[in-house]
A and B are shown apart, each in its own frame.
Chain A
């Protein structure tokens, strides 16, 4: 199972990568494996606000449709538009080309304690 050490994780199987003021969000290798082939994504618009714990979009695979839960609160600064034409990127490259959205966190200091590190996420899957 691919669980990069430098990322943060959530129990909802999302990853976060802090890059200066911006946080990149995607779903984990485990999540894409459980979902199977992703066929459609509904992602928020740039400029919209997401709220920790609430749904910010939908991911649909050949097997299931699932809500995407916001791991942190903040403003959406970018959305991976390539996924509209090529949703399979989420399966092929969940930590890289298959990223979902970029967010400027608004309450990261309060919210970061809820996130897991790689070792805690690995324990969750065990």
Chain B
């Protein structure tokens, strides 16, 4: 996402063209290349030259760009300035929990005793690291209300897959062949995808008029083929699923298990425990809820917590404590097997641990309370400006609909989102959840001040006024970035994935 303005607190001056001159489009490294120019000096060879490689393994040409060190540094620095991150401005990307990531997490993760250890090191020499992992397991178990935890999964969807495979193993151990996983129509797309990966057919359960799961429809869907329910709470409408304990009891009554997708745990840490609400399996997104940096494609961390009954199915190894000694426990005869090499994304476990230690129990529940307060402040401030399809108190995020703006002014949610870039704000999530037309999903998180929220609210109100007065201005936004609207359809249909050599080297195009 291209950065808009340098100063996100300034609503005024978000007009066309502002900022465009800041960032001229830099040429590609290949286009800057000059034959013979170099940025490295290699020391003379001071070891015996080995036998040459066979000719068929050598290539005669390797057309890499040739540049000096300052050219390379400027290229990447200038490119990075076109990025947008939570360190630069407000990033209310719904469902993604783009909270500020405290720098102390990185400082701790970079301590040599944690950053420079090796997975093959003798356990006696890494007792501190193992203790840290054990404590993280214990604390996540306490937060979940589910005592057994695996830190192995690499990300949220990986935690889902681990959970779905545990559901499968649980039923198979009891000699049951169950074929169906129930998934609400408001679910993240990863839920039905996970169910399919684990060999299940996913069956959709509709949302009721109050935004919670339709309980009658759930009861109709529950039969002896149902392996479990994958439910997100709060759901993707940002609403607490009313009747969750009745829902869980009904699934258990039918012999199924309840998997809770913890994507939205930021709304309930230290306030309610999924295990107490009838959840059997939960994954955390350490990279959302516990402030591990994310958004560039990873790595994440999807720690997964289960009931004591399901502990034997967890993937190995799990860190155990014997007195004062910590060790990896690999003896899990009923396990679903390893889901990852080594010990999960260890450095991200360290960051999550540092965050938990920084906040402590009271701090964590305050975190969730403030996340909910901030979302409701935004919801209430915009309730008269945008439609709220499910108008009740929300949790960590608020889902609006711009359906009436689209109908009355021909300005769609996409246009509003693009225009927010001109105000220095990262656009919210749009067109999700799928059950809300022209959806605009705002998750402010607890780390934003009232001033920042007020700036966002003022920006959105200003854009809605523009939509009525000068709709073309909004429809053609953003105006402050080096590039405006990308041709997303052509980018998806005919992506140019390589740079063609000017001397006729073969340009390779994606299909």
A97 within 8 Å of B by Cβ? no
A109 within 8 Å of B by Cβ? no
Segment from B64-72, B236-244, B321-329, B486-494 that makes contact with A = B486-494
User: In the bound complex, what is the Cα–Cα distance between A63 and B430 (angstroms)?
Assistant: 9
The smallest beta-carbon distance between B369 and chain A, in angstroms, is: 34
Interchain CB contact (< 8 A) of B493 among A34, A39, A63: A39
Query: Number of A residues whose C-beta is below 8 Å from B?
Result: 11
Verify A87–B493 contact, CB threshold 8 A: yes
Which residues of chain A from 67 to 93 have any CB-CB distance to chain B below 8 Å in the complex? 87-88
Per-position 1/0 for B113-144, Cβ under 8 A of A: 00000000000000000000000000000000
The smallest beta-carbon distance between B50 and chain A, in angstroms, is: 49
Verify B492–A40 contact, CB threshold 8 A: yes
Contacts of B434 in A (CB 8 A): 64
Contacts of A87 in B (CB 8 A): 493
The smallest beta-carbon distance between B68 and chain A, in angstroms, is: 40
Which residues of chain B from 135 to 176 have any CB-CB distance to chain A below 8 Å in the complex? none
B390 within 8 Å of A by Cβ? no
Contacts of A65 in B (CB 8 A): 189
B377 within 8 Å of A by Cβ? no
User: In the bound complex, what is the Cα–Cα distance between A37 and B488 (angstroms)?
Assistant: 8
Per-position 1/0 for B348-376, Cβ under 8 A of A: 00000000000000000000000000000
Verify A88–B489 contact, CB threshold 8 A: yes
The smallest beta-carbon distance between B88 and chain A, in angstroms, is: 26
User: In the bound complex, what is the Cα–Cα distance between A39 and B493 (angstroms)?
Assistant: 6
The smallest beta-carbon distance between B235 and chain A, in angstroms, is: 18
B431 within 8 Å of A by Cβ? yes
Contacts of B431 in A (CB 8 A): 63-64
User: In the bound complex, what is the Cα–Cα distance between A94 and B431 (angstroms)?
Assistant: 22
Query: Number of B residues whose C-beta is below 8 Å from A?
Result: 8
The smallest beta-carbon distance between B440 and chain A, in angstroms, is: 14
Which residues of chain A from 49 to 68 have any CB-CB distance to chain B below 8 Å in the complex? 62-65
The smallest beta-carbon distance between B403 and chain A, in angstroms, is: 11
Contacts of A39 in B (CB 8 A): 489, 492-493
The smallest beta-carbon distance between B106 and chain A, in angstroms, is: 35
The smallest beta-carbon distance between A19 and chain B, in angstroms, is: 30
Per-position 1/0 for B401-440, Cβ under 8 A of A: 0000000000000000000000000000001001001000
Contacts of B489 in A (CB 8 A): 37-39, 62, 88
Contacts of B437 in A (CB 8 A): 34
Which residues of chain A from 17 to 41 have any CB-CB distance to chain B below 8 Å in the complex? 34, 37-40
Closest to A34 in B: B437
The smallest beta-carbon distance between B493 and chain A, in angstroms, is: 5
User: In the bound complex, what is the Cα–Cα distance between A87 and B437 (angstroms)?
Assistant: 23
Contacts of A88 in B (CB 8 A): 489
User: In the bound complex, what is the Cα–Cα distance between A38 and B492 (angstroms)?
Assistant: 9
Contacts of B488 in A (CB 8 A): 37, 62
Closest to B412 in A: A36
The smallest beta-carbon distance between A30 and chain B, in angstroms, is: 11
Contacts of A64 in B (CB 8 A): 431, 434
User: In the bound complex, what is the Cα–Cα distance between A39 and B488 (angstroms)?
Assistant: 9
The smallest beta-carbon distance between A51 and chain B, in angstroms, is: 13
Most chain A beta-carbon neighbours within 10 Å: one of B434, B437, B492: B492
Per-position 1/0 for B179-191, Cβ under 8 A of A: 0000000000100
Most chain A beta-carbon neighbours within 10 Å: one of B189, B488, B493: B493
Closest to B430 in A: A63
Contacts of B189 in A (CB 8 A): 65
User: In the bound complex, what is the Cα–Cα distance between A63 and B493 (angstroms)?
Assistant: 13
User: In the bound complex, what is the Cα–Cα distance between A73 and B492 (angstroms)?
Assistant: 32
User: In the bound complex, what is the Cα–Cα distance between A34 and B437 (angstroms)?
Assistant: 8
The smallest beta-carbon distance between B459 and chain A, in angstroms, is: 23
The smallest beta-carbon distance between A41 and chain B, in angstroms, is: 11
Contacts of A63 in B (CB 8 A): 431
Closest to A37 in B: B489
Which residues of chain B from 186 to 236 have any CB-CB distance to chain A below 8 Å in the complex? 189
Closest to B438 in A: A34
Per-position 1/0 for B458-502, Cβ under 8 A of A: 000000000000000000000000000000110011000000000
Having A37-B489, A64-B434, one finds 10 other A-B pairs with CB under 8 Å, namely: A37-B488, A39-B489, A39-B492, A40-B492, A40-B493, A62-B488, A62-B489, A62-B492, A87-B493, A88-B489
Q: Could you list some 7 contacts between A and B, CB below 8 A? A: A37-B489, A37-B492, A38-B489, A40-B492, A62-B488, A64-B434, A87-B493
